[in-house]
Amino acid sequence: MKKVFLKAPSRVQLFKEMAPEIPLPPQPVLTRRRIYGSENST
């Protein structure tokens, strides 16, 4: 769901118009450790 808002700014505006009291989901924070862990998780 977060990628949807990152790739389409018009959807962010539509979301804010439809539900102004609900905050947007937080932006994903990618760290080295998280990327490293996801590659070697198998």
Segments making up each domain of the chain, as ranges = 2-39
The type of residue at 18 is M
Give the pTM. Answer: 0.43
Angle at 6 between CA 4 and CA 9, to 5 degrees: 90
Q: pLDDT digits over 2-36, tens only?
A: 565 566 788 888 888 888 888 877 766 666 665 54
Q: Return the pLDDT at 31.
A: 64
Given a cut of 70, is residue 38 above it in pLDDT? no
Q: Which residues, at least 6 apart from 1, have a Cβ–Cβ distance to it below 8 Å?
A: 25
